Amino acid sequence: MTLVEHLAELRKRIMISLIAVTVGGVVCFIFFGTIVRFLLDPYTEITGKTALVFTDPLEGFTTRLRVAGFGGLALAAPVVLWELWRFVTPGLYPREKRYAVPFVLSSVALFLLGGFVAYQTLPRALDFLLTIGGDELTPLLTAGKYLSLVSLMAIAFGVAFEFPVVLTFLLLARVLSTAQLRRWRRWVVIGIVTFAAVITPSADPYSQLLMAIPMYVFYEAVIIIGRIMRR
């Protein structure tokens, strides 16, 4: 393919992905109330409160749009990942193209697993964040701040849990080898801990630990997979 053909192909994949995100966003906009009630469960568990406040007349609308955007991206993840793979596929060998479906399915499953882990860490994270200031400070969370934190936590964990998919792809492309992965263990531990500290929106130790540990487990799992594939 020429450069112009590559750009045309990229535009096509981006347009399909944007349409999928838009459709997902519309669905989340419609079911905003149901989504918010679900996301409020960790907050209710810690504080006993069942509602959030807002201090800006526009905050209710902007919050709904933000949740729709994040939710649309999450719902469209399978389509976006498939379109990304379709764009990359022409540069692969025929024997490597057969990994398309396993890669997309594993990417979606790991993204959802990351979101699930993030949701499970929220009660401990909120308890830490709301009590670290002491009894002199009374928490009064606005809808926009809380829902943005929950959404960013889910996305951060979802992206972090894609770590083994990226490594496995690099092994298949022969950019990395299992010998290199074994040699880099010490540096990878430092890198994972640093990455978890930077990417975790809440910055609490519980979330960072529960992100870093699975990432290192995934790293070791990729080494085993690489040995099986003889890479």
Summarised one tens digit per residue, pLDDT across range 11-33 is 888 899 999 999 999 999 999 98
The 8 Å CB, 24+ separation contacts for 175-179 are 176/231, 177/226, 177/231, 178/223, 178/226, 178/227, 178/231
116 SS3 class: helix
The angle at the Cα of 60, spanning 140 to 36, to the nearest 5 degrees, equals 75
Locate the DSSP E strands across 42-161. none
Amino acid 1: pLDDT: 61
* Residue linked to tokens 């894609």: 162
- Let me know: does 59 contact 142? Beta carbons within 8 Å: yes
Q: What pTM was estimated for this model as a whole?
A: 0.83
* Top-confidence residue, 82 or 224: 224
* Measured distance CA(71)–CA(86) in Å, rounded: 23
- Let me know: does 221 contact 209? Beta carbons within 8 Å: no
Chain-centroid distance, C-alpha 70: 10
Which domain does 209 fall in, by range?
Answer: 3-228
- Tell me which amino acid residue 160 is: A
* Mutual angle of helices 163-172 and 205-228, in 10-degree steps: 20
Structural domain tally of the chain?
Answer: 1
pLDDT tens by residue, 127-183: 888 888 777 777 788 888 888 888 888 889 988 998 898 888 888 777 788 888 888
Strand partners, 142: 53
